[in-house]
Structures are given as C-alpha cells and as structure tokens.
Amino acid sequence: MTAVDIEGVNNVRDVGGMPAVGGRIRSGILLRSGQLSGASAAGAEALSRRVAHIVDLRDGEEVSAEPTEIEGPDTTHLPLFLGSVRSFFETDTSLEDLYLHLLEESGERLVAAIRVIAAGEPTLVHCTVGKDRTGVTVALALAAVGADREAIIEDYALTESQLPPERSQRIAAYLRSQHPEAVHAVALATQSPAPVMRALLDDVDARWGSAAGYLRANGMTDSELEALRDALVEPIVDQG
C-alpha cells in the first residue's frame, strides 16, 4: 500500500502492490481516502489526474454538510448506512456491530460500489474518515479477488495512524462530553483495530463461504467477479 499526498485530503492511499492469488493488486486502480471537501485546488487537480471515478459512501446529511467539488472524475453516491451516522453514536454501537450492520443491511449498495471498481478505471472510494464504510468496501473487494488476508487487515488498520492526531483528540473529547456513558464512541470515530477486520472477514467466510460468496449472495454475477479480478489483479511475470 502506498500513501498518496493529496493536499487537503486525509488518509489517501493506493492499495496496489499487496500480494494476491496469481499475482498482486495493481497500482493506480483502487484508491481510498477520507472526504474530499477539504481538497485544495492543487489537491483537486491531482485527484482529477489520478482517478476516473469517485465512489462516495456518505449519507445525504454528510454530503450536504461537506460537499465535494472535484471536476473531472464521475462520482457515484452510494450511502451505505440506512439511517444517519449520528444514530450509531447515540446507540453506542461497537465497530464489530457496525460492520455486521453494513453486511446485513447494505449488501446491494456494497455490490454496487464494487461494480464500479470492477469496471477497471482508476477509482477512489471514500466516506467521511475513510475508515469504516470505505474499509469494509475495500476489504470485500480485495478479499473477493484473493488478496492476501493479512495485507488486507494491515491496510485497514493503517487508517488510525493516517488521521491527524489533533482531529482524533478533538473528536474524542467532544464524544466524551456528548456521550459520557458511551463505551464504543471513541473507537467508532477514531480507531481501526486489526482484530475487528480479521473477525469481519472470518465471519464473512463462516456465513457466505468467502467474500466472493457474499458478493454473489447480494447480486454480483460470476462474470462481474471475473471482471473485478481482471481489474484488480496484475499477474507477476517471471523474468527468468
């Protein structure tokens, strides 16, 4: 995975390079990030040069509060949460339960997002922080094409270190003041523990057989899965 410097945007990286069955994940095809509303003119221009399609997983309230104005790439809005983000803090939802909620309630939207990736154009997937909705979407896409599991987990876990510390501290303080009895609020907003993603992928395997099986169960065809593999996996040519 490669961190990408886009002025005004946090947590940007290219997941290319990780090992996969039959090769490795292509560079330049699948990028992930936090919201793009803070992109400077130079940052927006850099993104326009890098990506042809943006998948925005935020809900309407988030989009209205922090609109994205990046000229050039096509943008697909696919809100993954059925309900507002605020509600998860009010109910003190854990990361584990949040991700299960995404799997169980947003399967068709997850497939729709991954279909964009399968088209094979350089694509950026993002939500607000680039941690949860983005993390689950990217992990499923990578797991479905046989990317190395530990590399997928490592990529997910990397997010926490990519967030500006002052932002995380400010949000943690706010959440503690607003939800003093909450157990999970700070983790929900700022953390990406490797065991959470490992447990999610294990649960997908146990319930659907594999990430590809999960995507099939939610409407993705075998030909679309093959297109996803063609888009994401680069065979390693033996130079010997």
Domains of the chain: 2-231 (3.90.190.10)
Per-residue model confidence (pLDDT) at position 231: 98
Cβ atoms of 99 and 88 within 8 Å: the answer is no
CA-to-CA distance for 186 and 71, rounded, in angstroms?
34
Helix, strand, coil percentages (3-state) for the chain, rounded to 5, are 50, 10, 35
Per-residue model confidence (pLDDT) at position 61: 87
Per-residue model confidence (pLDDT) at position 228: 98
Cβ atoms of 239 and 27 within 8 Å: the answer is no
Per-residue model confidence (pLDDT) at position 89: 66
CA-to-CA distance for 71 and 51, rounded, in angstroms?
11
Structure tokens at 215: 């995507």
CA-to-CA distance for 71 and 204, rounded, in angstroms?
37
Spell out the residues 6+ positions from residue 26 whose beta carbon is closer than 8 angstroms to its own. Answer: 16, 231, 232, 233, 234
Per-residue model confidence (pLDDT) at position 182: 63
Per-residue model confidence (pLDDT) at position 187: 72
pLDDT along the chain (240 residues), means of 10: 90 96 96 95 95 95 89 93 69 87 95 98 95 96 98 94 75 69 70 94 98 98 98 81
Structure tokens at 111: 């497939």
